[in-house]
């Protein structure tokens, strides 16, 4: 997770620097009032409110966020939002956008360090997140940067056999779809469950497909 979040943040900065935009990064923290107050819709509802606020001001909504578990067990969100200089984001709890607890906004001096710290905490406590909880997100990247972000999030065997320009995506039903060609790549690994544990085993794709028809392959 940490690597994906840092890559997303780096690409946001590169996009804006490429366009010559003067910006600041707001660090928004979302805290729940109640230990069991979390709902999967809460963070997406908040982002919808901020997106509408940005749209009314003709601002591109660029963000990266991570979830964190507090020591008391409640979920916590940390969000980086890129804003033009001179524009300040209103506090979401005061606006009614976050009625579930409290919010805090600061300006980032070291945005990558800030988000990396909480991404690392999320990795360490990933087993404790509620079922169905997304633990990080990103939005607003240019198409080229979205492709790069997706490529870096792929398994190593995909990155070793493709390029960013291939635009790999996870295919429905399994495998990796290369949007550049329409080809679907099959993982060279399979998972085996034994009495000794769970193991990743190198597949013999040539043997597995031997004797299959074209429709079956």
Q: What is the rounded distance in angstroms from the CA atom of residue 206 to the CA atom of residue 183?
A: 17
Give me the pLDDT at residue 31, please: 93
Q: What DSSP character marks residue 181?
A: T
Contact, 67 vs 56, CB < 8 A?
A: no
CB 89 within 8 A of CB 105: yes
- Please state the rounded mean pLDDT for residues 102-117: 84
Tokens for 114? 């800030």
The answer to whether 205 and 217 are in contact (CB under 8 A) is: no
| Tokens of residue 96, six digits | 């009614």
Which residues pair with residue 23 across a beta bridge?
A: 84
Please provide the CATH number assigned to the domain covering 2-148: 3.30.70
Residue 216 predicted with pLDDT over 60: no
The answer to whether residue 85 scores a pLDDT higher than 60 is yes
Q: What is the pTM of this model?
A: 0.78
d(CA 43, CA 40): 7
Q: What is the pLDDT of residue 89?
A: 96
Annotated domain spans of the chain: 2-148, 155-202
Per mean pLDDT, which range of 48-57, 136-145, 149-158, 185-194 is the poorest?
185-194
What digits encode the pLDDT tens for the residues 191-209?
777 766 676 667 664 555 4
Between the alpha carbon of residue 108 and those of residues 24, 82, 91, the distances in Å are 8, 10, 16
pLDDT at position 29: 94
CA atoms within 13 A on the CB side of 152: 16
Strands, E assignment, 15-133: 23-32, 62-69, 75-84, 101-107
Give the other-Cβ count within 10 Å of 143's Cβ. 8
Determine the pLDDT at residue 117: 76
Neighbours of 51 (CB within 10 A): 15
User: Binning pLDDT at 50, 70 and 90, where does residue 217 land?
Assistant: very low
Could you tell me if 30 and 98 are in contact, meaning their C-beta atoms sit under 8 angstroms apart?
Answer: yes
């Amino acid at each position: 997770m940490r690597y994906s979040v840092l890559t997303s943040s780096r690409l946001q900065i590169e996009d804006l620097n490429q366009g010559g935009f003067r910006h600041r990064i707001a660090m928004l923290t979302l805290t729940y009032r109640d230990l069991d107050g979390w709902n999967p819709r809460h963070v997406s509802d908040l982002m919808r409110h901020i997106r509408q606020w940005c749209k009314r001001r003709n601002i591109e909504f660029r963000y990266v966020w991570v979830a964190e578990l507090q020591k008391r067990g409640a979920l916590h969100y940390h969000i980086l939002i890129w804003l033009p200089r001179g524009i300040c984001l209103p506090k979401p709890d005061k606006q009614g956008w976050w009625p579930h607890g409290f919010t805090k906004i600061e300006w980032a001096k070291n945005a990558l360090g800030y988000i990396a710290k909480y991404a690392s905490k999320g990795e360490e406590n990933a087993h404790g997140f509620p079922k169905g909880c997304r633990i990080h997100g990103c939005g607003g990247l240019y198409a080229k940067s979205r492709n790069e972000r997706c490529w870096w999030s792929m398994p190593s065997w995909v990155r070793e056999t493709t390029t960013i320009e291939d635009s790999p995506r996870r295919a429905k039903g399994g495998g990796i779809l290369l949007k550049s060609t329409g080809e679907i790549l099959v993982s060279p690994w399979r998972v085996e469950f034994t009495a000794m544990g769970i193991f990743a085993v190198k597949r013999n794709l040539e043997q597995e497909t031997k004797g299959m028809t074209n429709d079956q392959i």
